[in-house]
Amino acid sequence: MNQTAHQTPRGRVLIIAGSDSGGGAGIQADIKSVTALGGFAATAITALTAQNTLGVHGIHEVPPAFVTQQIEVVLEDIGADAIKTGMLHRQEVLDAVVGALERFGGEVPLVVDPVMVAKGGASLLDDDTRSVLRQRLIPRAAVLTPNIPEAEILAEMTISNEQDMAVAGRKLLALGPGAVLMKGGHLPGDGVVDLLLSADGIERHASPRIHSRHTHGTGCTLASAIACGLAQGLAVGAAVTRARKYVLEAIRTAPGLGQGHGPLNHGHTVSG
């Protein structure tokens, strides 16, 4: 897809997530992804992080009332054709986001990226916050996009293979989202299989694994790309197909920055 500067953005996406000062994940990755795919990105920032390819070095909290205000003023003026949530690391913030979506979000399709586990494996959410996520946010989602560690927490089971992914996906679908995209990148092997589960059944999305340390922000990027597709009127399956293609090329052409898990090349659709 070639998106040139003179084209008018199509599809308004409100992104509710944390900021990554390193530019590889979070709000920065979200804005780049939506823009590169031809959409318009607005934001509500839930936390500020001092972050680079080696990890998170500090977090500055955003007051929940200010998170709510960001959502409210964007939706009342600019509006949104899709909403995407990412880092909602505190119960107070999650409560504020859910409340704002209930009041101002209407029927806008929601993509929930349940950012729950740090790269080192530590859980980012306590039990009470997980409960709010399961009971109040996930049922609102048009698409839920957990990776394997997140799905294991939400489905309360171990996932070791593709069959386990399907079982866990059905458990998560029972929580009420319209669809669940089970991301299989954490499983070993030379291929990556993602499963899209909905009331219509299971769609299997498979691709060769790109062996690279430059994969920081892949989850944020994929979820935002899906949200952009929904905002532009694509069906869920088509939005997932396009988003996966976009992310794979972004990994393949990653700029190689940093000493650790480097960022993707979000701008590959507009370069050249």
Catalytic position from the list 219, 221, 228, 269: 219
- Quick check: is 215 catalytic? yes
- Quick check: is 221 catalytic? no
Catalytic position from the list 220, 221, 229, 269: 220
Q: Give the ranges where 89-144 is alpha helix by DSSP (H).
A: 91-100, 127-132
The three-state DSSP-derived secondary structure of 192-237 is EEEEEEECCEEEEEEEECCCCCCCECHHHHHHHHHHHHHHCCCCHH
CA geometry: angle 265, 268, 272, nearest 5 deg: 130
- Quick check: is 228 catalytic? no
Catalytic position from the list 215, 221, 228, 229: 215
Catalytic position from the list 217, 228, 229, 262: 217
At 235, list the tokens: 């069906």
Catalytic position from the list 218, 221, 228, 262: 218
- Quick check: is 183 catalytic? yes
Catalytic position from the list 183, 184, 229, 269: 183
- Quick check: is 158 catalytic? no
67 forms bridges with which residues in the sheet? Answer: none
- Quick check: is 220 catalytic? yes
Q: Is 96 exposed, middle or buried (0-12, 13-18, 19+ CB in 10 A)?
A: buried
Helix (H, G, I), strand (E, B) or coil at 38: coil
Strand boundaries in 113-209, DSSP class E: 143-144, 179-182, 191-198, 201-208
Catalytic residues: 183, 215, 217-220
